[in-house]
Amino acid sequence: MNTIEHWINGSYVPAGERTAPVTNPATGKVTGQVALASVEDGNAAVAAAKAAFPAWRDTSLARRTQVLFAFRELLNSRKDELAAIITSEHGKVLDDALGEVSRGQEVVEFACGIPHLLKGSYTENASTKVDIHSIRQALGPVAIISPFNFPAMVPMWFFPIAIAAGNTVIIKPSEKDPTAVNWVAELWKEAGLPDGVFNVLHGDKVAVDTLLTHPDIKAVSFVGSTPIAKYVYETATAHGKRVQALGGAKNHMIVLPDADLDLAADAAINAGFGSAGERCMAVSALLAVGDIADSLVEKIADRARTLRTGDGMRGCDMGPLVTSQHRDKVSGYVDAGEAAGATLVVDGRGVVPDAEGDGFFVGPTLFDHVTTDMSIYQEEIFGPVLSVVRVDSYDDALATINANPYGNGTAIFTNDGGAARRFENEVEVGMVGINVPVPVPMAYYSFGGWKNSLFGDTHAHGSEGVGFFTRGKAVTTRWLDPSHGGINLGFPQNS
Ligand code: NAD
């Protein structure tokens, strides 16, 4: 049996007594056992990161950047391997897995520019013959705790910048698809990263709690569901760490009556059913404004029925859900939506997938006449279930979005520039698409939601990411000359 071990200080560390099965969701077959860290394993990972920190922090920017470029080249030339690992443990189709790797690679490319990003500022003669400059310095060992749905990209939102800035990292990947990060660890070694700078600690709550409370961990970047994000934020800040904790989502797409309904239907399909709805930026609620709803629902339904669900290695449109428990949970939501009186237009339960074995499939599912009191609207289903909510006006659509406790992503489909501009200004959501259904910002902007979709005040990557993984220092300098003499016990005043 394949055992997925921790990676500490540049090599694998055998699993202890506790392990958990890893499954290929397209076949239902167990493919490995992942180590579940003990507190001692966690302490060993932190000790390795702590020991590696001083030398890595003091490594020149020129050398650090060379390692980053080498990593980028290796990743770019071998990304097919990583995509295949993602598909075999997560289930998303191979094209989508490649897309995930490419979006992560963008952050590596952004981090290659770290010498420019870390430049401080300088003020000459702030006071007479007194100069001031600012610098940004690394924090120390930092922890990254990631969810199952982007086993490569989400860790890559953080570690390239953390490492480029001179920190050392410990990643705690999801125990459902842990192999991708081990592959990345080996790639870093090949790229010349010193041992101990990049460590992987596999596990569950024990591993997470060890990192959240360990005095040597300086910062925590977390991505996952809202209740755990809130817990991570509260626990790690109580232990004196800076924290960015990205949580769950319920993303709305508004379609105004003037929109091109065919293009809007295409977008709804892509954003609703891509990665089987297991994206934090998936559209799960479509707000159809005015009298377009009948026609729009028909167009979406026609397209949904043509999608091929099956094994992600077989060129299908949509893969399985990550576990049998999650498949059952998603099917349960479909039952609940029907029972609550929503119109089930396309039913994905009982789909016949293009796959061998006993995978965890639910096909594309479309509900119409959903109301905001139904559980299928209120909760994050995280599956291929799209709910159409009919509203009378733009104002009703906006009020619905702003009343929702989540605020990750949203999109408006319209050809009316004035309406789009108003929406951009009025909506209480962190990432907004104008005719773009999944508005994931590029690496040089920052990714993050509002309200219950993010705890903390810093978004991922871009300049906010650089700020998160460094702390500022302001240095005031004078080179003494006779004009600086004399005794004066007062607080210095500018002159
Ligand atoms: P999850 O919250 O179950 O797990 C996330 C991480 O937390 C994993 O590493 C897991 O091992 C750990 N964890 C789980 N339970 C824990 C506990 N009780 N104590 C400590 N640690 C614990 O999330 P998931 O199911 O892996 O991922 C899906 C969720 O992530 C969805 O809600 C999705 O919206 C969200 N997500 C959000 C974003 C974003 O950018 N906002 C991006 C991706 C995923």
22 with 34: CB under 8 angstroms? yes
Whether 223 and 240 map to the same domain: the answer is yes
The rounded Å distance from CA 104 to ligand 1 centre is 18
Atom of ligand 1 nearest to the CA of 224: 30
User: Ligand 1: which residue has its CA nearest to atom 24?
Assistant: 147
Whether 59 and 202 map to the same domain: the answer is yes
Asked if residue 493 belongs to a domain, the reply is no
First to last CA, the chain: 74
Asked if residue 37 belongs to a domain, the reply is yes
The closest of 289, 229, 216, 221 to 253, measured between CA atoms, is 289
Per-residue model confidence as pLDDT tens for the chain (495 residues): 799 999 999 999 998 999 999 999 999 999 999 999 999 999 999 999 999 999 999 999 999 999 999 999 999 999 999 999 999 999 999 999 999 999 999 999 999 999 999 999 999 999 989 999 999 999 999 999 999 999 999 999 999 999 999 999 999 999 999 999 999 999 999 999 999 999 999 999 999 999 999 999 999 999 999 999 999 999 999 999 999 999 999 999 999 999 999 999 999 999 999 999 999 999 999 999 999 999 999 999 999 999 999 999 999 999 999 999 999 999 999 999 999 999 999 999 999 999 999 999 999 999 999 999 999 999 999 999 999 999 999 999 999 999 999 999 999 999 999 999 999 999 999 999 999 999 999 999 999 999 999 999 999 999 999 999 999 999 999 998 887 788 989 887 766
112-116 LR contacts (CB < 8 Å, sep 24+): 112/65, 112/68, 112/69, 112/72, 112/164, 114/61, 114/64, 114/65, 114/68, 114/161, 114/164, 114/165, 114/466, 115/61, 115/62, 115/65
Q: Is the CB of 323 under 6 A from ligand 1?
A: no
Look up residue 321 and give its two tokens. 């859900």
pLDDT digits 0-9 by tens, 230-265 = 999 999 999 999 999 999 999 999 999 999 999 999
pLDDT digits 0-9 by tens, 104-124 = 999 999 999 999 999 999 999
212 with 236: CB under 8 angstroms? yes
The closest of 139, 394, 395, 373 to 292, measured between CA atoms, is 394
User: Ligand 1: which residue has its CA nearest to atom 26?
Assistant: 147
Q: Which domain holds residue 13?
A: 2-247+453-474
Task: Tell me if residue 431 falls in helix, strand or coil.
Answer: strand
Whether 217 and 259 map to the same domain: the answer is no
Whether 217 and 232 map to the same domain: the answer is yes
Cβ burial 279-288 (10 Å sphere, 16+ → b, else e): bbbbbbbbbb
User: Ligand 1: which residue has its CA nearest to atom 40?
Assistant: 246
Atom of ligand 1 nearest to the CA of 449: 41
ipTM over 0.85 threshold: yes
Q: How many residues does the chain have?
A: 495
Could you give the CA distance from residue 241 to residue 136 in angstroms, rounded to a whole number?
A: 18
Whether the full predicted model's pTM is greater than 0.90, yes or no, is yes
Could you give the CA distance from residue 404 to residue 231 in angstroms, rounded to a whole number?
A: 21
Please confirm, yes or no, whether 280 is among the known catalytic residues.
yes
Q: Is the CB of 188 under 6 A from ligand 1?
A: no
Could you give the CA distance from residue 283 to residue 273 in angstroms, rounded to a whole number?
A: 8
Predicted local distance difference test score (pLDDT) of residue 281 = 98
377 with 389: CB under 8 angstroms? yes
The rounded Å distance from CA 146 to ligand 1 centre is 6
Q: Is the CB of 408 under 6 A from ligand 1?
A: yes
Beta strand segments in 75-181, E: 122-127, 130-138, 141-145, 168-172
Predicted local distance difference test score (pLDDT) of residue 494 = 67
Look up residue 404 and give its two tokens. 């929702």
Whether 144 and 255 map to the same domain: the answer is no
- Tally of structural domains, the chain: 2
Q: Is the CB of 409 under 6 A from ligand 1?
A: no
Options 264, 280, 297, 401, the catalytic residue: 280
Whether 229 and 264 map to the same domain: the answer is no
Could you give the CA distance from residue 275 to residue 277 in angstroms, rounded to a whole number?
A: 5
Whether 214 and 331 map to the same domain: the answer is no
Whether 322 and 224 map to the same domain: the answer is no
Asked if residue 104 belongs to a domain, the reply is yes
DSSP 8-state secondary structure symbol assigned to residue 466: H
Beta strand segments in 340-384, E: 343-346, 365-368
Could you give the CA distance from residue 336 to residue 242 in angstroms, rounded to a whole number?
A: 40
Task: State how far the alpha carbon of 405 is from the alpha carbons of 226, 291, 370, 377, 429, in Å.
Answer: 11, 27, 18, 12, 10
Amino acid letter for position 419: A
CATH number, residue 459? 3.40.605.10
Asked if residue 40 belongs to a domain, the reply is yes
Look up residue 495 and give its two tokens. 């002159």
Whether 199 and 277 map to the same domain: the answer is no
170 with 2: CB under 8 angstroms? no
Q: Is the CB of 225 under 6 A from ligand 1?
A: yes
Atom of ligand 1 nearest to the CA of 232: 20
Atom of ligand 1 nearest to the CA of 146: 9
121 with 474: CB under 8 angstroms? no
Q: Is the CB of 278 under 6 A from ligand 1?
A: no
Q: Is the CB of 407 under 6 A from ligand 1?
A: no
Look up residue 141 and give its two tokens. 């060992």
